[in-house]
C-alpha cells in the first residue's frame, strides 16, 4: 500500500560505526507521509545518531538514506530547507535575544524570503508561547524556554517534515501538553512529524506510527494499531477462589502470573490461551465453582511491548 513515494523518510541497511563499535546495525526506517512517527528507544540506543544522519550532520558508514524522496547526503541542500528540526536540545547564542537568534538562523537559510522574516519569526515565537520573552537574552531563559525556542526555530517557515528529538525535555506538564497540541496542528497542515522519545506515554498519546530502537537495531515498526496487535492479549480474573482458578487456567493451557492480592478477592492475570474464546474461559471457571467477580481480556499496552523489546531497567544497553 505504501510505495516509496509515500515515504518521507526511508533508510535501508543504515549502519554507523564509531571507533570500531557498531552504533547502528542496519536500520530500515519507513516513515509514511502525513504520519506522526514516534521513534522510541532507551537512552543510548542510537536515536539521536540516526537523526543526525538523516539531517546530514553525521555520515553513515553504510546504507541508503532518503528524506523527502531525495538521497542524503547528496541532495542535503535541497532537502534541508523543507525540514525543521530540534536535535539534541536547543542551541542558541546566550548573548542574543530569542528573536535575534531566530533572525540569525533564518538569515542563514537562502531559500526563504527576507521580507517576511520578521513576521515569520514573530509567528513562530507566538506559536510556542514565547512572545513575552522574545526580547530577553537567551542566556537568561529557563531550560523549558530554550526548548520552546528550539521548537520555534523548526517552525520558521512551512516544512514538509519536522524532526523533534526529545521535544518535551525540560518542559513542565503544561508545556508538554502544548507540544502535543502543536504536533497535532502541524499534522493538520500536512506536515509529517518525526518525534524521538524515550518516554512511551508521550509517543502513545500523539503518534500514529512508531518504531522501537534497541541497542542500535530496529526491533519493531508500524502503525500504533499494528504494534498493539503484536503484543499478546491477557485475561484478568477477579475472584476469591485462588487455587481453583489456577487449576482451571492451567487446564486451558495458560500459566497464571503472580497475583495482585486484594482483601477478599484475588486478581489473576494470564496470557490468553490460543484458540480459547473468553466466554469459554468464563464458563469453565463457573462450572468449576469459581466465584467470578470480574473478568476482562486486555490488549497488551505498548509499554509491555516496549519493555519486552528493549529490556527493563536503567542500564544503558551497549
Contact residues toward other proteins (CB under 8 A) are: 33, 52, 55-59, 68, 76-78, 80-83, 85, 87-96, 100, 103-112, 114, 153, 157-160, 190
Cβ-based nearer residue to other proteins, 114 or 260: 114
Cβ-based nearer residue to other proteins, 110 or 274: 110
Cβ-based nearer residue to other proteins, 54 or 281: 54
CB atoms within 10 A of CB 70: 14
Cβ-based nearer residue to other proteins, 112 or 276: 112
Cβ-based nearer residue to other proteins, 81 or 301: 81
CB of 101 to other proteins, least distance (A): 8
CB of 113 to other proteins, least distance (A): 9
Note whether 272 and 298 are within 8 A (CB): no
**Rounded to whole angstroms, what are the CA distances from 296 to 12, 235, 277?**
41, 6, 12
Report which of 187, 183, 185, 178 is spatially closest to residue 195, judged by C-alpha positions. 183
Q: What are phi and psi of 87, to 5 degrees?
A: -120, 125
CB of 159 to other proteins, least distance (A): 8
CB of 225 to other proteins, least distance (A): 24
CB of 310 to other proteins, least distance (A): 23
Cβ-based nearer residue to other proteins, 72 or 305: 72
Q: Long-range pairs for 131-135 at CB < 8 Å and ≥24 separation? A: 133/98, 134/97, 134/98, 134/99, 135/97, 135/98, 135/99
CB atoms within 10 A of CB 88: 16
Note whether 192 and 22 are within 8 A (CB): no
CB of 158 to other proteins, least distance (A): 5
If phi > 0 it is left, if psi is from -120 to 50 it is alpha, else beta; for residue 44 that is left
> What are 45's three cell numbers?
540506543
Cβ-based nearer residue to other proteins, 187 or 293: 187
Report which of 246, 289, 297, 244 is spatially closest to residue 272, judged by C-alpha positions. 297
Estimate the share of the chain in helix, then strand, then coil, as percent rounded to the nearest 5.
Answer: 40, 25, 35
281/277 Cα distance (integer angstroms): 7
Q: Find where cell 490461551 sits.
A: 273
Q: Which helix (H) or strand (E) holds 185?
A: helix 173-188
Cβ-based nearer residue to other proteins, 159 or 198: 159
CB of 161 to other proteins, least distance (A): 10
CB of 219 to other proteins, least distance (A): 25
In sequence order, what are the beta bridge partners of 214? 217
Cβ-based nearer residue to other proteins, 82 or 228: 82
CB of 286 to other proteins, least distance (A): 55
Amino acid at each position: 500500500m505504501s510505495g516509496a513515494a509515500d515515504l518521507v523518510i526511508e533508510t535501508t541497511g543504515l549502519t554507523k560505526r564509531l571507533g570500531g563499535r557498531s552504533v547502528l546495525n542496519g536500520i530500515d526506517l519507513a516513515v509514511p507521509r502525513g504520519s506522526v512517527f514516534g521513534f522510541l528507544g532507551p537512552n543510548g540506543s542510537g536515536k539521536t545518531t540516526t537523526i543526525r544522519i538523516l539531517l546530514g550532520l553525521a555520515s553513515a558508514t553504510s546504507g541508503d538514506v532518503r528524506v523527502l524522496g531525495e538521497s542524503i547526503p547528496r541532495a542535503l541542500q535541497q532537502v534541508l530547507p523543507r525540514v525543521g528540526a530540534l536535535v539534541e536540545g536547543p542551541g542558541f547564542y546566550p548573548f542574543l535575544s530569542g528573536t535575534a537568534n531566530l533572525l540569525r538562523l533564518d538569515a542563514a537559510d537562502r531559500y526563504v524570503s527576507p521580507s517576511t522574516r520578521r513576521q515569520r519569526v514573530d509567528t513562530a515565537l507566538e506559536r510556542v508561547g514565547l512572545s513575552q520573552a522574545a526580547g530577553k537574552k537567551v542566556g537568561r531563559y529557563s531550560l523549558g524556554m530554550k526548548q520552546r525556542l528550539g521548537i520555534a526555530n523548526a517552525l520558521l517557515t512551512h516544512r514538509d517534515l519536522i524532526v523533534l528529538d526529545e521535544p518535551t525535555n525540560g518542559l513542565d506538564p503544561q508545556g508538554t501538553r502544548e507540544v502535543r497540541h502543536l504536533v497535532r496542528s502541524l499534522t493538520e497542515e500536512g506536515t509529517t512529524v518525526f518525534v524521538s522519545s524515550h518516554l512511551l506515554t508521550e509517543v502513545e498519546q500523539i503518534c500514529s506510527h512508531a518504531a522501537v530502537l534497541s541497542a542500535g537495531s530496529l526491533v519493531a515498526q508500524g502503525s500504533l494499531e499494528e504494534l498493539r496487535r503484536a503484543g499478546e492479549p491477557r485475561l484478568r480474573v477477579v475472584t476469591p477462589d485462588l487455587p481453583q482458578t489456577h487449576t482451571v487456567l492451567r487446564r486451558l493451557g495458560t500459566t497464571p502470573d503472580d497475583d495482585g492480592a486484594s482483601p477478599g478477592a484475588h486478581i489473576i492475570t494470564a496470557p490468553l490461551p490460543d484458540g480459547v474464546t473468553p466466554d469459554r474461559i468464563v464458563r469453565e471457571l463457573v462450572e468449576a465453582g469459581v466465584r467470578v467477580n470480574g473478568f476482562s481480556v486486555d490488549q497488551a499496552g505498548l509499554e509491555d511491548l516496549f519493555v519486552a523489546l528493549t529490556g527493563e531497567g536503567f542500564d544503558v544497553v551497549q
